[in-house]
Amino acid sequence: MENLQATKQRFGIIGNDIQLNRAIEKALRVAPTDISVLVVGESGVGKESVPKIIHQLSHRKHAKYIAVNCGAIPEGTIDSELFGHEKGAFTGATQTRKGYFEVADGGTIFLDEVGELPLTTQVRLLRVLENGEFIKVGSSQVQKTNVRIVAATNVNMHDAISKGKFREDLYYRLSTIEIPLPPLRQRGEDIHLLFRKFAADFAQKYRMPTIRLEDNAVKVLTNYNFPGNIRQLRNIAEQISVVEENRNISSQKLTQYLPDMQGNLPAVVGNNNSNSDFANERDIMYKILFDMRNDINDLKKLTLDLLKDGTSQEVKEENHRLIQKIYQEQETEVIPEVEVVQIPQQTNQNNYDFIETIEEDENLSLQEKEIEMIKKSLEKNSGKRKLAAKELGISERTLYRKIKQYDL
């Protein structure tokens, strides 16, 4: 069995916390077997290292290791991604495709965010776990595969089971061995150790002197709740490294980088800090305005479409007047650089060309706004996608996809 310290070094894991050590030791012990493992722990605690350790220290290390983020794949394509599909299985399936379970035969599949798997996919997964069998989408032929599964989740699986979102039988299959990773707030001295490591990394990256925490700041850091765990700690170290000119960081300075010092509630639920109350209200207003703007754009488009359909000369003339009015409004609001708009006497498709330009511009700026809102919300919720999705009023799955799409 590979030595604990050597493993940490090899996989870049910092810390000596007893629970962390126990988790790594457990991973080392189960690695040579084919037993399924479920890694549990809050977001940002480092769950992704565990399947890598297990794969690398198993007899499967020369075969494929595939990590799948179950939450990021749209529900409609997840079965085909995992199990493959036959040519013609659905529109767009122009060729037979191998799924991850076929490609990773002999290797390991890491199912990250396994709690997000749709129920139908859970049934297929259960079958693979039970007898190594699967069927491509659109096929009737049973195939065999030999894959070791390591799964991870940051949601409470017992909750998911009681709500009917996760199959109990699958849960027991997946969690033959459960490896819990402790939240950062429970790791004591590791917190400062990690901070120093990140501070040194960022100093090197940005070619600046390393930031240093004053003694009272170390206390503040060690007592902070870290809802976003190590991911959040690293972000904080990066922000301070880049922003602060004085490289000695006091506790007051540090506090400015720790959102929600009062109780680590999601900010929208409320806290006592009037500044951030203001920021929250502003964000909510921003969202409402954003939605309203979308509605207005839809309405404008609908109105224009209706106007285009007018038939009698009288109606057409009236329509032109209205169209002109809308154009003028749009000009002043959106594209002031367009000077004069000529409205023809006869309705003609070409004359609406610049409307498309307006829409493109608007789409672009809407997209920017969307990216900005997502970023803000993620920052505010310390990278917790669940909370951010709730605040943005979109599903977690949609948020995952947007994060991927915009590379956030």
Ligand X SMILES: Nc1ncnc2c1ncn2[C@@H]1O[C@H](COP(=O)(O)OP(=O)(O)OP(=O)(O)O)[C@@H](O)[C@H]1O
Residues at the contact surface with ligand X, assessed by CB under 6 A: 12-15, 41, 43-49, 154, 194, 230-231, 234
Q: How far is the CB of 249 from ligand X (least distance, A)?
A: 20
107 versus 227: smaller Cβ distance to ligand X: 227
Write out the H or E segment, with its range, that includes residue 14: none
Q: Which residue has the tokens 């810390």?
A: 15
Specify the residue, 44 or 266, whose C-beta has the smaller distance to ligand X: 44
Of residues 52, 48, 44, the one with CA closest to residue 28: 52
- Residue 43: name its binding partner from ligand X, Mg ion, none (Cβ under 5 to 8 Å by kind): ligand X
* Least distance from ligand X to the Cβ atom of residue 6, Å: 15
Query: Which residues, 139 to 158, sit near Mg ion by CB under 5 A?
Result: none
Query: Taking the complex as a whole, how short is the minimal distance between the CB of residue 182 and ligand X, in angstroms?
Result: 10
Quick check: helix, strand or coil at residue 337?
Answer: coil
Q: How far is CA 177 from the centre of its chain?
A: 26
C-beta closer to ligand X: residue 154 or 271:
154
Q: Are 68 and 109 in contact (CB under 8 A)?
A: yes
Give residue number: closest CB to ligand X. Answer: 46
Name which of 13 and 249 has its Cβ closer to ligand X.
Answer: 13
Give the C-alpha distances (Å, rounded to integers) separating 126 from 78, 80, 116, 149, 154: 15, 16, 15, 11, 20
Least Cβ distance, residue 387 to ligand X (angstroms): 12
Question: Who's near 9: CB < 8 A, 6+ residues apart?
Answer: none
The amino acid occupying position 276 is: S
**Strand positions, DSSP E, 162-223:** 177-180, 212-213
| Partner from Mg ion, ligand X, none contacting 157, C-beta within 5 to 8 A by type | none
Q: Out of ligand X, Mg ion, none, which partner does residue 45 contact, by CB within 5 to 8 A per kind?
A: ligand X
Interacting partner of 145 out of Mg ion, ligand X, none (Cβ under 5 to 8 A depending on kind): none
User: Edge to edge, what strands does the sheet with 37-40 contain?
Assistant: 65-69, 108-112, 148-153, 37-40, 177-180
The entry of ligand X, Mg ion, none that residue 108 binds, CB within 5 to 8 Å by partner kind: none
- Selection from ligand X, Mg ion, none that 15 binds (CB < 5 to 8 A by kind) is ligand X
Nearest approach in angstroms of CB 388 to ligand X is: 12
DSSP 99: -
Residue written as tokens 């039988």? 169
Could you tell me the smallest distance in angstroms from the CB atom of residue 43 to ligand X? 3
Interface contacts to Mg ion, rule CB under 5 A: 48
